[in-house]
Amino acid sequence: MEIRLPKLGEGAESGTVVSLFVKEGDIIQKDQTILELENEKAIAPIPSPEAGTITKVYVKVGDKISVGQAILSLSGIGTAPAAPAAPATEAPKAAPAQETQAAPRREVPGIPLPASPSVRKVANELGIDLTQLRGSEHGGRIVMADLRAYVERLQRLTLQPREAAPEIKKAVSESVDFSKWGSITRKPLSSLRQKIGEKMVESWTTIPHVTQFDEAELAALMALRKKYASKYEKKGANLTLTSFILKAVVAALKKYPIVNSSLDEKTHELIFKDYYHLGVAVDTEQGLIVPVIRDVDKKKMLELSLELAQLAEKTRQRKVSLEDLKGGTFTVSNLGGIGGGHFTPIINKPEAAILGVGRGKNNMLPLALSYDHRVVDGADGARFIRAVAEALENFKEKDVKI
């Protein structure tokens, strides 16, 4: 007997398989959840209408299936031994990354949701919709152990990288015939631009971003820069604002080492780095490239200014090596030379944060810190960006002297 996808509800004719709980050879019960299906409305558990032994599974995680499509084949219909259905809190091991979806499920006939008042009270206090759970007790009754397992699963999933959803990939790959509305010109996307796009999508979809804004008052720093600019020029260096920013960032990173860390998503460990290798976003004709200046904390302002200019030029000429682009602990993206104020930079994974710098006006410099909220709390994010601003506002003349 073939089990087919039942009607999903008004206006819902298809969906994407986000979890598959069975395999060939499994013995299943009537009303046991066999998969979870996501469409534009919600995530719904799909139960088996019959008991039996699975002889064939026709779908896999990521497949888009429609109402009436075959899901699996059963033999020995109605002869499966009586046994409680496996709790849904244990089943989704096949594809945990997709389970970060928290949309309420539609209730499906045959899947009761009974629970004691104490379970309902705890679920209500935690803001958990019990329709998200499948009870492990007789008749699908939800007990405290089911609720605890569900919460633990959510905690694990928050530390796991999130894969791009199949629906997103498909939407990106679809072409629109814009020539229907007027004249167009097509230009191939460069491989670098494609890589930049892939990196940005990965960072944005796998890291929970928070952006903190602040400003630094630069009157004293600009006077200091003006005083020493000519002396640096005689040494072949340009004393830019970026050099000051890099030094200010290092000072703040030393005060708040959590911002200089990275999250190991496989081991769920924080990696604290005892070095300060800062990436500097460079605008090139091919796209944004981020070379890394190593050991910024150990370099004098003159050495740092010389290296910054040389590395930026190498980057624009596409002469930087792959090694020049690796090993960064924090990134600075300074758009002040182009214009604009605050903006929300995207974190350069696997770093924990990035500083965006806008164009200064009336000696006020706009700063924007985007950070990984799995790693950095809001309070530390606010303290860090304030520490950067204070380091710029109180820059020591002894650190600029040649």
Residues acting as catalytic residues: 373
- Separation between Cα atoms, residue 122 and residue 147, nearest integer Å: 9
Residue found under tokens 């703040």: 252
- Separation between Cα atoms, residue 187 and residue 207, nearest integer Å: 31
User: What 3-state DSSP class applies to 389?
Assistant: helix
Q: DSSP assignment of 74-135, as one string?
A: EESTT-SPP-PPPPTTTSGGG-GGGGG--PPPPP-TT----B-HHHHHHHHHHT--GGG---
Per DSSP, helices labelled H in 237-377 are 241-255, 301-316
C-alpha distances (whole Å) from 92 to each of 2, 96, 164, 180, 240 are: 23, 6, 18, 45, 53
- Separation between Cα atoms, residue 180 and residue 188, nearest integer Å: 20
Burial 367-377 (b: 16+ CB within 10 A, else e): bbbbbbeebbe
Per DSSP, helices labelled H in 174-332 are 191-206, 219-234, 241-255, 301-316
Burial 201-238 (b: 16+ CB within 10 A, else e): ebbeebbebbbbbbbbebeebeebbeebeeebeeeebe
CA-closest candidate to residue 250, choices 280, 271, 227: 280
Q: Which tokens go with 386?
A: 């304030």
Cβ atoms within 10 Å, residue 180: 7
CB 300 within 8 A of CB 324: no
